Structure 1
Amino acid sequence: MGRGQRGRIPLSNPMGVVPLRRNKQFQLLWVGSAVSQVGMELTRLATPLLVLALTGSPGWAGIVAGARTAASVMAQLPAGVWVDRWDRRRTLIAVQGLQTVNAAVLAALIVGDRALVWHFVVTAVIDGGCAAFLRPTRTTAIRGVVPTEQLPNAYAQEQARLHAARLIGPPLGALLYGLGRAVPFVVDAVTFLVAALCAAGAKVPRRPKSEPGGRRSMRRDMGEAVAWLWRQRGLRAVWAVVMMLNLLSPAYLLPLIVLVGERGGGALGTGTVLAGAGIGGLVGALLSGRVGRLLPPGKLTIVFTAVFGASIVAMALPFGPWWPMGPLVLFSLTMPAFNVVTSVVIARLAPEEMLGRVDAVLTAAGFGLSPLGPVLGGALAAALGGAGSIVLIGGLMLLTAAGAALSGDLRRFSG
């Protein structure tokens, strides 16, 4: 947040506001999420490596990743309704507690050398269902504990958490995987437990300040959110692009792992290359406020998609196993600004009593095609190899950017 924005705070809140760094509720939520995000990044690399070791098939690794995403998308809409109805605090603690148990069960199976492919699929489905509840619950929790004028800073800090974890997680995951196949999964279970304890200590407001009156059906509650979103033409255009991005962005991960392996990179090399997303994202999170002010949300969406596509195509250039790290850093620089801008727009525009449902509808729409992404990436990697798959996926992203540039609603959308 710039100086001008900080200077306006006393006008919007004459009593003054607590600086975000001293907001204990938000910082506890942030610490818990940061720790669990690192754990998730450990297994983000360790899971496909272990599934590949068990089956020898990139396709099975893609199915496991796709199962998690599919479960999350399918549970998203009812989760949004229930989050708006239920106690926020209890929901957050319960979801993160279930994630802890789920991760601990998988870790125990791996430690006992009893893990089969279907175990990974089942635990991925459970984790995906938890994620469907976690995102709208965190969105409403942040809205409940952070003043509106501090939301850009809060979401920038959220992006820093995400990308710092992506920087630390892959190489650390590769290192722990080298110590023992079960080690990353045991650590992941511990990180979920830390997140649940932090959620309990944060004591977020239990319910929205205003709630729909009377007993309402789920269809009516969800229809209300869909109707509100349908009237936001610019936001609809942004989310059409997001839908394509969330189909194609999960698809490049498995081909990238295959590409690095084809060029002689081992597990540690792969983890280091993937850390490029964390490096770029962490720097981008620090610059997200400035970048977000350069372009309105609509034009930022077009630019981000074009940079993303061009960077993925560039990964296939024949410059050795370490080369893809450079393009990963490049497109990750723009990702935090895009995420911060869209998150702030949603948090400010959506009525608080509808925020869980709005977030759920947008997430379900944005990620509607994403379960196909890992499956698509695995199938392409098996058929075309790493480089061919990456060129095809990046080319499709560039076509998406070209189509987005033709949308008048998107070009005019200011948020």
Structure 2
Amino acid sequence: MGDAEPGDAGRDRPLWRDRNFGIFLGVQTASVGGDAFSAVALPLLVLHATGSVARMGLVTALAGAASIVAGIFAGVLADRLDRRSLLIACDAARAVLYGLVVAFPHLGVVYVVVPLGAALGMVFEVTYVTVVPALVGEGQIMRANSRLYGTYAVASVVGPAVAGTLSAAFGPQTAIAVDAASFAVSAAGLCLVRLRVRPGRLEAPAASPLRDVLAGARFLWRHPVLRTLTALLSFLTFVTYGLTDVLIYRLERDLGQPDGVAGYVLAAAACGSLGAALLAGPLRGRFGFGPTWIGAYALGGLAVAALGLVTSVPAVAVLAAAFLFCTGAAGISSMSLRQEITPDHLLGRVTSAFWTVHSALGPVGAAALTWAAAREGTAAVFAAAGTACLAAALGAVWTPLGRSRPSPEPT
């Protein structure tokens, strides 16, 4: 394959000296910065057109449903096709799709483009997870994930603030245009990245299509910690998937804030993600995987519940940052664990199965949360979601996840 470098030369060089990792880090940071623009601009575009939080939730639900359907097949694509080429194709296609929203900023276009973009995004995200171990040495996976998450967090800090300002001054479609351009930059940059061949990558045996799709799910089921994580995250995704929409609605309708404030709050909240990038590794090293993950979601639940009690914008931003810190620390640890214990020829399908199963209830949750916010108020929704997160974290103490250092091999 043209995108591979055989051998282990340079596998353990410092990350800051690794050309491939540096390029990958740079272009993906640009792309995430663009995504941060759309995270603010698309809900605002729908809200301005309809004035309905339920319509915002519908768009989020459509995107989530498309991600789930794509996730069924994304792992097979990542394990059977040239991974770098697949990443490039996904980014190029998303650049075109979001460009259509800029050219035709109508709800009908949004309802078509957002699900398609989400499906391509799922394929990209699954494939992206599989290439990280091919970019760095085996002992550098946690550090690489933390670096990626940290620079993404920096982009996410700047992105929403600028997006809110642009949306207020020129309309949401201007911010969406930045996202389209960022995908084009990412696709071009990925052409310069070379991946190493990992042991077992080229020797994966052929299988029937059905066995290919189910291989990742079987691996998840056999591993007690991954099985527990999948079940818990299915529930947690249901109760948190629509929280960004509820937060924006609370700021604009309950607290009477203009568009720009939503962008600044999300930017400030992204500082929590940056903190997670810096501390996830030390926390996991000090306490082990289980306590780090459980403690993160317990604290995150408390932060979400408190969001319904505060009325000042700075307090909302601080609590949102705390929640993103907690979910970020848990997410970095979880992704690194999967990459460390999964054979390379299965990594795409395991990642796909993991995300597909635990994301299945996300669209329903988004619709339910936004409907409840319109009917019962945002304070009640935040209280219920936070309590649910805390209960799930406490319940995890009595599962295989409660072990601080789970065995790396399935049992």
Give me the TM-score of the superposition, normalised by structure 1: 0.90
1:127 to 104, 117, 130: 117
How far apart, CA to CA, are the structure 2 residues paired with 1:133 and 1:288? 26
Task: Indicate if the aligned counterparts of 1:259 and 1:321 stay in contact, CA closer than 8 A.
Answer: no
Distance 1:133 1:400 in 2: 29
Q: Give, in angstroms, the shift of residue 282 of structure 1.
A: 0.8
Q: Any stretches of 5+ residues in structure 2 without a counterpart?
A: 1-7, 407-411
Equivalent of 1:338 in 311, 330, 333:
330
Q: Kindly state the Cα deviation for residue 191 of structure 1 after the two structures are TM-superposed.
A: 0.6
Q: Given the alignment, which residue of 228, 245, 261 partners 1:254? A: 245
Query: 1:376 and 1:162 mapped to 2: Cα distance?
Result: 29
Question: Is contact 1:89–1:205 with CA below 8 Å preserved after alignment?
Answer: no
**Distance in structure 2 (CA, Å) of the matches to 1:295 and 1:73:** 33
Q: Give the CA deviation at 1:66.
A: 1.2
Aligned to 1:9: none
Q: Deviations over 1:271-295 (max 9, x none)?
A: 2222232111112211222112232
How far 1:337 moved relative to its partner? 2.5
Partners of 1:76 and 1:34 in 2: how far apart?
23
After superposition, give the CA deviation of every residue in 1:29-74 in whole Å (9 maximum; x if it has no partner).
Answer: 1111111111111111111111011011111111111111110111
Which residue in the other structure is 1:239 paired with? Answer: 230
**Aligned residue number for residue 291 of structure 1:** 283
Is the 8 Å Cα contact of residues 88 and 205 (structure 1) preserved in structure 2? Answer: no
The answer as to 2:300 corresponding to 1:305 is no
User: Could you tell me which residue of structure 1 aligns to residue 385 of structure 2?
Assistant: 393
- Could you say if the C-alpha distance between residues 243 and 295 of structure 1 is closer, same or farther in structure 2, counting changes exceeding 3 Å? farther
Distance 1:198 1:213 in 2: 32
Q: Pick from 192, 201, 206: which aligns with 2:183?
A: 192
Q: Give, in whole Å, the separation in 1 of the partners of 2:23 and 2:358.
A: 28
Does the aligned pair in 1 maintain the 2:60–2:242 contact within 8 Å? no
Q: Which residue is 2:42 aligned to?
A: 47
1:63 aligns with 2:55: no
Q: Does 1:355 align with 2:350?
A: no
2:162 to 135, 155, 172: 172
Conserved in 2, the CA contact under 8 Å of 1:238 and 1:298? no
Say if 2:159 and 2:267, in contact at 8 Å, map to a contact too.
yes
Q: Choose from 363, 375, 383 the match for 2:367.
A: 375
Structure 1 residue matching 2:256: 3-state secondary structure: coil
Q: Please say which of residues 294-303 and 343-352 is displaced more in the overlay.
A: 294-303
CA offsets 1:105-161 (integer angstroms, 9 cap, x no match): 111112xxxx1x221111111111101210121122212121111111100012112
Q: Deviations over 1:374-406 (max 9, x none)?
A: 21222012102222221222122222223223x
What residue is the counterpart of 2:213 in the other structure?
Answer: 222
Q: In structure 2, what is the equivalent of residue 323 of structure 1?
A: 315
- Within 1, Cα distance between the matches of 2:328 and 2:374? 32
Q: Is the 8 A contact 1:292 1:338 kept in 2?
A: no
How many angstroms apart in 2 are the aligned matches of 1:299 and 1:283? 18
- Per-residue deviation, 1:372: 1.9
Range with greater deviation from structure 2 (258-267 or 345-354): 258-267
Q: Which runs of 5+ in 1 are unaligned?
A: 1-12
| Distance in 1 of aligned mates of 2:275 and 2:216 | 35
Q: 1:33 aligns with which of 23, 28, 40?
A: 28
1:287-324 Cα distance to aligned partner (Å, 9 max, x none) = 22211223222222221121111001111224423321
Kindly provide the amino acid, as one letter, of the partner of residue 64 in structure 1: V
Amino acid at match of 2:18: N
Q: Deviations over 1:222-268 (max 9, x none)?
A: 33322222111122112222222222222222221122222122112
CA distance in structure 1 between the aligned counterparts of 2:135 and 2:248, rounded to whole angstroms: 40
**CA distance in structure 2 between the aligned counterparts of 1:151 and 1:329, rounded to whole angstroms:** 25
Per the alignment, do residues 93 and 205 of structure 1 end up closer, same or farther by CA in structure 2, a change over 3 Å counting?
farther
% same residue:
26
SS in 1 for 2:56: helix
Distance 1:168 1:412 in 2: 38
The alpha carbon displacement at 1:206 in A equals 7.7
Q: Please tell me the residue identity of whatever aligns with 2:374.
A: A
Kept in 1: contact 2:217–2:354 (CA 8 A): no
Matches of 2:12 and 2:188, distance apart in 1: 26
Give the deviation of 1:333 after TM superposition.
2.7
Q: Check whether the contact 1:89–1:206 (CA below 8 A) recurs between aligned residues.
A: no
Distance 2:84 2:310 in 1: 51
User: How big is the shift at 1:91?
Assistant: 0.9
1:144, 1:321 → 2: CA distance? 43
* CA distance, structure 1, for counterparts of residue 400 and residue 49 of structure 2: 48
For residues 129 and 319 of structure 1, the distance between their equivalents in structure 2, rounded to whole angstroms, comes to 36
Q: Give the deviation of 1:179 after TM superposition.
A: 2.2
- Which residue does 2:87 correspond to in 1? 92
When the two chains are superposed, the root-mean-square deviation of aligned CA atoms in Å is 1.9
| SS of 1:371 mapped into structure 2 | helix
Name the CA distance, whole Å, in 2 between partners of 1:15 and 1:98. Answer: 33
| Number of residue pairs aligned between Structure 1 and Structure 2 | 396
| Structure 2 residue 153 is the aligned partner of structure 1 residue 158 | no
CA distance in 2, matches of 1:151, 1:397: 28
SS in structure 1 at match of 2:177:
helix
**Contact 2:293 2:333 (8 Å CA) reproduced:** no
Q: Which amino acid aligns with 1:243?
A: S
1:16 is displaced (CA, Å) by: 7.3
